[in-house]
Structure 1
Amino acid sequence: MALLYFICKDLRPFHIIEGEGFKNLMKEVAPFYKVPSATFIKKKLAEKYEVTSLLFKQRLLNAEWVCVTCDIWTETMAEKGFLGLTVHFLEGTSMCSRDIGVTELKTNHTGEYIFDRMRFILSNWNVPISKVRCVVADNGANMVAGIRLLVGESNYLPCFAHTINLISEATLKDDVIKVIINKVRNIVKFIKNSVNNSDKLRKIQIDSGASEGSVKKLILDVSTRWNSVFYMIERFLLMVRPVTIILIDNSNAPDMPSPQEIEILKQLLPILRPLEYVTKEASGERYVTISSVIPMLNCLVKQINLVQTANDIVKQVKTTLLKEIDKRFAKIEFNSNVAIATLLDPRFKALHFQNATACGIAIQKLKQLVKSTTPSSSDGGAGTGGDSDDDSTNKEYDFWEIHKQLAMGQRNRKRATNDDEVTLYLSNSVSYLKSSPLKEWEEMKLMFPMLYKQARQFLVVVATSVPCERLFSKAGAIMTKNRNRLTSKHLDKLLFLGGCSHEEFFA
């Protein structure tokens, strides 16, 4: 079983155990152990999947609500299309997630066909459609059509990270900025694609006093992830001097950005930094994300506005960025799933709403939901815990500085005393930023039993479909040239078992 765990967890091909090197290793480690065949391991894969999937189905059965993320991936070697699904649910105060399906798409990717495949995967895991709180995906027309057929218009949520990516792409389309970024990209490729240049870069850093462990490499951006452009620029600016030395010594080197262009990059980075933070923060799987969308957007706009620049080109980038954010998120506060989740996050409540009408609508909808809710009989306290938001020892970039100022003002207001759960809850002070909203609700569920049930329903939703993108990153690692005959059934099982913890796998 340990061999199977090794193959699933480390994304190894089955035939690795039949290689001469592996057999020699096992002979040294365990001389009397007979290494099984790949056929035997495949059989054990099916058996282990059968047992482990049954246990996971029970966990899904116990979940009140689930959120699903989905995406389509094309495997380039075999030119096959795959639909992937991940499921997210709450267990106590923990956010849980798992890859539950990678199925090959054998006909045209129509909305009806995608709907059929999604329904098939959910059915395999005994997840009724009525339990699916939201489906999160990018805005591809066929994908959206399939999701609407599955759960309806109101329960489709566009991927927040995908929208941020579109905003970034539109912002960085400025002709001057594109030229400078292309210069940086060409330099990064020039150095990374040459062993000699890479060695020189390393040697220059060591000669300057850097230790082996602190030597840095240049970063090349990836077209599908805008924040990789940010990391590429950030690292380049950090290494301008050693890079310049390498380029000067090479007549075939690409053009170095001028001092004026480097200054533009330096002034551009603080404008992009809040966007990078939001992209990273929204893509988590182990903590609540949907309720942070509206607060992050409010802080994002204000953080960008705080950045001062004297450069006209950077000023234009800043203006474009703010316009793009406004254009693509203009109606976000009217999205019930996002707005109500924000209200139900004890850290934020109504603190960050910029549209009073949208906030009022969300509060009224929440009150209507509470009226139709049966109280929970679970035990719990009524307080709200957490440590102070004040972190005066941390002098680094603080994205949430604006939120902390708002929270401080809200805590000084007079609280409501009536017995309306929603009004009383919203009038209480917000929890501290570093607190867990799920743990906060466990402490408040006796005081707000109806709201507690709504919180468990709305906070299960994730903000992005990044978990499904991570699933396909794993799939890509599995579908190598050594494994291009791997069936989609084996791929599905490998990905599921690879997502198991050590305790789950050996249970």
Structure 2
Amino acid sequence: MVHCVKSFLDIQEYRRAVSPMSLLSLTVHWLDTSCTPHGAMLQAKNFHGSHTSDTIAAAITDILVKWHIPLNKVHVMLRDNASNMKKAMDNMGVRSLGCFAHSLQLVVNEGLLSQRSVSDAIAIGRQIVGHFKHSPLAYSRLQDIQLQEMQPKHLQQDVKTRWNSTYLMIQSLLEQKRVLCAYIADHDLPSTLTANQWALLEKTSIVLAPFEELTRKVSSSTASTADVIPAVTVLKRILAKEGDADTGIKTMKKTLLQAVNKRFDTVEDEPLYALATLLDPRYKDRYFTSAQSAKRAKDALTGELEEDLRRSTAGASQAGPSQAAEPQEKFPRVEAAAPSSFMQEFEQIVEESEDPGAASSSSPAVQLHGYLAEKTIATSDNPYQYWGVNKYRLPCLAATATKYLCAPCTSVESERVFSTVSNIVDEKRSRLTAERAEMLVFMRKNLPLLIK
């Protein structure tokens, strides 16, 4: 690794009720010389003592030293939104970002799920699902009715800390509405939903659908910090739009829009997000809602490109004039199903701001101008493949893209580490030491890399 070592690191704490174990995970993400993304778990460290910012910073520093990763090679650290984690990153002197998925969780909770009428309806739905989960007899009776109605589907239990699981629970209840009404006719339930509450859940499901789609999008293994600004822009537009289908949900949408504006008010002014968005060929400068923010981002990127060129003049000159003049290669487009309203909004924003034309040169400023003037690639295309193909035509931009596009926008990978831990340290293996558990998790998460 040379410049590719510039990487993303994310940190999460983990506690198990089964075993008195506290772990701090550190995962790393990078792009190699062909712009292919990679990720690995460096450590799930046994974490002793109080979880203060100083102890967290010291633990992370120890891991970096162990792996011979200097701080100047760390592009950004992704963390949760806890104050001790943020302060730990500040103490280390590294740039950091909060988990975008956690911020979405707060938006939905503050903007919708905290409303009394909605939370009451969801609480009743949770009691109904819990009744069938804990009573085999009730579940058997429900299955009999489902078979008669030809709807053999499970009711989804939600987890309060994950709003999208609440959305899935609402969806499962709505799908089984007729079955549940038939069940109530002959059997008792701990609580029942009124007609108004059923209607409220239907409206809630409609409003939350774009958020659920966005959560899945940013939680994928290919998501990066470049996805944040476009996602926020699309959410704001969807929530601000009014139509005939919005009858009864306008207040919900307005409340959620206020929460989005509050949480992501300054997202376009964050250089780590802004520059990553510019360097993603699917987005470029098309999704900035503020002309001033777009100009600041372009100026900052131009300055960084020129600085990188000064630091690596010899390396950049190896591309050669013949390679720099190579025409842009085309990619086969991915055939997809009809886009959802969420994805249609992405395409509409691009169409409104598209400016055809192209230019290329070895100058960073001219490279950037030509790159931004070209049409964006489809949102379903692979941005890493684009830079793998165009790294000789746009060498300065490609080198900077490998740094900014390597960082995910959520801490999903760390949470997946802890899901692996929960499968290893359970009631039957509760005496495993933290060191042994870490060895097993390390092999489980990194074995595919070792095989390759």
Q: Structure 2 regions of 5+ residues with no counterpart?
A: none
Deviation at 1:288, TM superposition (A): 3.9
Corresponding residue for residue 156 of structure 1: 96
Deviation at 1:401, TM superposition (A): 0.7
CA–CA separation in structure 2 for the residues paired with 1:98 and 1:170: 34
Corresponding residue for residue 271 of structure 1: 207
Say yes or no: does 1:90 pair with 2:31: yes
Corresponding residue for residue 116 of structure 1: 58
The one-character-per-residue Cα deviations of 1:443-462 (angstroms, maximum 9, x if unpaired) are 22222111111001100111
Corresponding residue for residue 337 of structure 1: 272
CA–CA separation in structure 2 for the residues paired with 1:384 and 1:411: 20
Q: Percent of aligned pairs with the same residue?
A: 25
CA–CA separation in structure 2 for the residues paired with 1:258 and 1:300: 31
The one-character-per-residue Cα deviations of 1:219-253 (angstroms, maximum 9, x if unpaired) are 111122111011000111011111222233223x1
* 1:25-424 map, 5 Å: 63-91=4-32, 92-152=34-94, 155-171=95-111, 172-210=113-151, 215-251=152-188, 253-285=189-221, 287-306=222-241, 308-311=245-248, 314-372=249-307, 373=309, 374=312, 375=316, 377=318, 381-387=326-332, 394-395=337-338, 397-411=340-354, 413-415=356-358, 420-424=366-370
Q: TM-score, normalised by structure 1?
A: 0.81
Say yes or no: does 1:494 pair with 2:440: yes
Corresponding residue for residue 469 of structure 1: 415
CA–CA separation in structure 2 for the residues paired with 1:181 and 1:123: 48
CA RMSD of aligned residues (A): 2.2
Check whether the contact 1:184–1:233 (CA below 8 A) recurs between aligned residues: yes
Q: Structure 1 regions of 5+ residues with no counterpart?
A: 1-59
CA–CA separation in structure 2 for the residues paired with 1:387 and 1:273: 30
The one-character-per-residue Cα deviations of 1:129-157 (angstroms, maximum 9, x if unpaired) are 221111101111111111222243xx111
1:325 is paired with a residue whose SS is helix
Check whether the contact 2:355–2:373 (CA below 8 A) recurs between aligned residues: no
- The 1:376–1:299 alpha-carbon spacing in structure 2 relative to 1, beyond 3 Å, is farther
CA–CA separation in structure 1 for the residues paired with 2:369 and 2:2: 33
Letter of the 1:330 partner, please give it.
D
CA–CA separation in structure 2 for the residues paired with 1:269 and 1:384: 42
Check whether the contact 1:134–1:151 (CA below 8 A) recurs between aligned residues: no
Check whether the contact 2:23–2:47 (CA below 8 A) recurs between aligned residues: yes
Check whether the contact 1:188–1:220 (CA below 8 A) recurs between aligned residues: yes
Check whether the contact 1:382–1:445 (CA below 8 A) recurs between aligned residues: no
Deviation at 1:205, TM superposition (A): 2.1
Number of residue pairs matched by the alignment: 435
* 1:17-32 map, 5 Å: none
1:385 is paired with a residue whose SS is coil
Check whether the contact 2:8–2:406 (CA below 8 A) recurs between aligned residues: yes
Q: TM-score, normalised by structure 2?
A: 0.90
Deviation at 1:407, TM superposition (A): 2.5
CA–CA separation in structure 2 for the residues paired with 1:241 and 1:222: 24
